[in-house]
Amino acid sequence: MQGMLSLLLFAGALHVDLSELKTYRLQIGALALLGTVLSTLAVGYGVWLTLPLVGLQLPLLYCLLFGALISPTDPIAVMGILKSAGAPKDLELVIAGESLFNDGVGVVVFSLLLGMLVSGATPSLAHTAELLILEAGGGIVFGLVLGHVTFLLLRSIDNYQVEVLLTLAAVTGGYALARRLHLSGPLAMVVVGLVVGNHGRAKAMSDTTRRYVDMFWELLDEILNAVLFVLIGMEVLLVSFSAGIFVGAAVAMLVTLLARTLTVGLPVRALHRFFKLPTSSWKLITWGGLRGGISVALALSIPAGPERSVVLSLTYCVVVFSILVQGLTVGRVARSIVTETRSSGDSKD
């Protein structure tokens, strides 16, 4: 939460083309905001009700924390597969946009729940809404200001070494300042990434700078994801896995997939005209919701305790299942949608 998260979110936002997302801004906003909140509740209450059936007891607040950290999806792994499978461009945009913004929303919800856990107090609905508006809205405004300042600094020089360091300083310093001001650092970093990646890339960077900035952040993103999985692997060495944990993890996988289907897949299927996507695209949006580094980083930030070990084990298993099972088969789902779309002759209906 304090170090890696800001870098991962900025790196993800840096390569998103806002001009392409404008057509689907309402659809992406609905999926990222409502879908993530509803998924948090669905997963949280789902595991809270089902884990006792397999002999695992986990307090409701920890279940909701698990729901908040497992709901954000990672677009990095699936986008390459979608391109190689020839998936419709509009579907790629919606999946990438939703994954980018649900990271920020998921982290805000997780932070609120984590604050409740640490303080031991349950805020009222009005207070929670006020905190959400102030943190999220303030984070977005702060991100816009910081992104514009970074743009002005980038435009004032033409030295790729300094410009790469400026982007790094904006992320690390900006995230720390946002947290100091009690604003949403994750959402601020997403906005800064969008501003620098679009406005800054087009008007403030030379071709050389653009190439080095891209290479730096792509490499940093890969390194951080690798470090996160090493860290969680080291944590797993300290967790005593049992038959109950593995059964609970299987239950958590099913609950997570069901929640994804109910909160994202079915709305896309039922409202495919609003989403402007093929009717069968709900399958790919559901199955292509891979979990990755963000979920791991959030799980590692939970305070130490027996409940943390359970949440960490469940997160590890769900992420590994997502990468190995969903990741290896999502290309087949994408190709089947391409076939269905071509046979119907209409990608929008």
Q: What is the CATH number of the domain that holds 129?
A: 1.20.1530.20
CB 157 within 8 A of CB 163: yes
| pLDDT for residue 347 | 46
CB 203 within 8 A of CB 23: no
Domain that includes residue 284, residue range: 4-341
* H or E element that contains 159: none
Torsion of CA 274, 14, 35, 296, to 10 degrees: 150
- What was the pLDDT predicted at 170? 94
User: What is the identity of the amino acid at 140?
Assistant: I
In a domain, 347, yes or no: no
> Is residue 179 a part of any domain in this protein?
yes
Residue 69 domain flag:
yes
Cα–Cα distance, 143 to 149 (Å, whole number)? 10
Sign of CA dihedral 166, 20, 70, 104: positive
Rounded to the nearest 5 degrees, what angle is found at the Cα of 143, between the Cα atoms of 76 and 64? 60
Q: Cβ distance 118 to 201 under 8 Å?
A: no
Closest to 295 in 3D by CA, of 105, 92, 71, 23: 71
Let me know: does 104 contact 97? Beta carbons within 8 Å: no
Residues in the chain, pLDDT under 50? 347-349
Is 246 within the bounds of a domain?
Answer: yes
Buried b (16+ CB within 10 A) or exposed e, 82-100: beebebbebbbbbbbbbbb
Full DSSP string of 199-228 = IIHHHT--HHHHHHHHHHHHHHHHHHHHHH
Instruction: Give Cα 340 distance to the centre of its chain.
Output: 29
Question: Would residue 346 count as lying in a domain?
Answer: no
Domain membership of residue 349 (yes or no) is no
Give tens-digit pLDDT for 120-165. Answer: 766 667 767 777 777 778 888 999 999 999 999 999 999 999 999 9
137/139 Cα distance (integer angstroms): 5
In a domain, 84, yes or no: yes
pTM: 0.80
Number of domains in the chain: 1
In a domain, 348, yes or no: no
